[in-house]
Amino acid sequence: MINRLAIIGIGLIGGSLSLALKQAGQVKHVVGYARNEATRERALSLGIIDTAAASIEAAVAEADVILLAVPMGAMASVLAEMAPHLTDNMIITDAGSTKAGVAKAASDILGNSISQFVPGHPIAGTEKSGPSAAFATLYQDHKVILTPMKQTNVSAVETIKTMWQQTGAEVSEMTVEHHDLILAATSHIPHLLSFNLVGLLAQNEDVDEVLRYAAGGFRDFSRIASSNPVMWRDICLSNHDAILTLLQQYQQQLTEIGQAIQEQDGDYLMTLFQSAKTARDTRFEIPKVTNGKK
């Protein structure tokens, strides 16, 4: 049970955590801070938070647990603003999509309080944002990854782990670097590849005609190109090392594909496509197809 939870950034992610913990009866009081007063008022009126704080200092005062649910680009400044007001009993965690940048910022800024900081990443979301988009079951059966650092206090990790489990999430722990590589592979690179193709087609003056003939495969492939550009810019800038490492491997193999097509090397293509199909079909949990049309 958390006595006082402070949420910095009351949107879909922070708001849904609050609603889930309230529904589970695992939090007594939630205080929320958002830069925008209208956002704070909406969160209050929706019952997402019990108190709205007009400053980060006011929000963290007396808090047991502090969640940073602000955009990646704002993490460092929020950490700097709260640092002077942290006391020994507070546990801080975040919900950022990449972990190396936040971990480094926290190490640089939090000083001795770094042992109380548990970097985290709930892998959940919808296409909507803001407090109105929050709902109590967002994390149910979703994964949350915690990436404790060497300096992180073990009992702080336990507190954050329990908190997320109470929302219905499945919590794992791994290193910061491993998290960033896994997320680059399964999320950041796919987004880049999809943004890149749709961005390329968008430059074509016949884009309307081109897209007119696009079928279901393209619809699925390009769905993530509709994601929030600011969020994805920040993720790319933040997770540069892991993304660049994988991007290089990806480009190299794509060049090999081009060579195989040029040389009419069907065996190369067949081997690659078959291994991809096997991995997709057998190693990845595929939800039932609701629409058989391709």
Q: Which of residues 226-245 bind a second copy (CB under 8 A)?
A: 226-230, 232-234, 236-237, 240, 243-244
Strands 120-123 and 117-118, bridge-based pairing: unpaired
Shortest reach from residue 273's CB to a second copy, in Å: 4
**Binding to a second copy by residue 74, rule CB under 8 A?**
no
**Binding to a second copy by residue 257, rule CB under 8 A?**
yes
Shortest reach from residue 24's CB to a second copy, in Å: 20
**Binding to a second copy by residue 276, rule CB under 8 A?**
yes
Residues 6+ apart with CB under 8 A from 96: 68, 72, 75, 102, 119, 121, 238
Q: Which of 38, 150, 286, 288 binds a second copy (CB under 8 A)?
A: 286
Looking at the Cβ atoms of 46 and 197, the one nearer to a second copy is 197
Give the burial class of 29: count Cβ atoms within 10 A of its Cβ; 0-12 exposed, 13-18 middle, 19 or more buried.
Answer: middle
Shortest reach from residue 151's CB to a second copy, in Å: 25
Shortest reach from residue 220's CB to a second copy, in Å: 4
| 30, HSE (Cβ side, Cα atoms, 13 Å) | 27
**Per-residue tokens: 80:** 């700097």
Q: Which of 84, 89, 203, 205 binds a second copy (CB under 8 A)?
A: 203
Shortest reach from residue 29's CB to a second copy, in Å: 29
First to last CA, the chain: 48
Distance (Å, whole) CA 8 – CA 23: 20
Distance (Å, whole) CA 103 – CA 107: 6
Distance (Å, whole) CA 49 – CA 8: 11
**Binding to a second copy by residue 76, rule CB under 8 A?**
no
Rule CB under 8 A: which of 100-129 touch a second copy? 123-128
Long-range CB contacts (within 8 A, 24+) of 85-88 = 85/56, 85/57, 85/60, 85/61, 86/60, 86/110, 86/113, 86/116, 88/113, 88/116
Q: Which of 38, 89, 208, 288 binds a second copy (CB under 8 A)?
A: 208
User: How far, rounded to the nearest angstrom, does the alpha carbon of residue 225 sit from its chain's CA centroid?
Assistant: 16
Give the burial class of 234: count Cβ atoms within 10 A of its Cβ; 0-12 exposed, 13-18 middle, 19 or more buried.
Answer: buried
Looking at the Cβ atoms of 111 and 190, the one nearer to a second copy is 190
**Binding to a second copy by residue 225, rule CB under 8 A?**
yes
**Binding to a second copy by residue 289, rule CB under 8 A?**
yes
Q: Which of 114, 147, 200, 288 binds a second copy (CB under 8 A)?
A: 200
Q: Which of 60, 68, 79, 198 binds a second copy (CB under 8 A)?
A: 198
| Window of 45-53, 56-64, 156-164, 200-208 that interacts with a second copy by CB under 8 A | 200-208
Rule CB under 8 A: which of 136-165 touch a second copy? 143, 145
Q: Which of 36, 77, 155, 251 binds a second copy (CB under 8 A)?
A: 251
Distance (Å, whole) CA 134 – CA 39: 12
Residue 125's alpha-carbon distances to 97, 118, 128, 187, 294, in angstroms, are 11, 20, 8, 13, 26
**Binding to a second copy by residue 77, rule CB under 8 A?**
no
Shortest reach from residue 4's CB to a second copy, in Å: 30
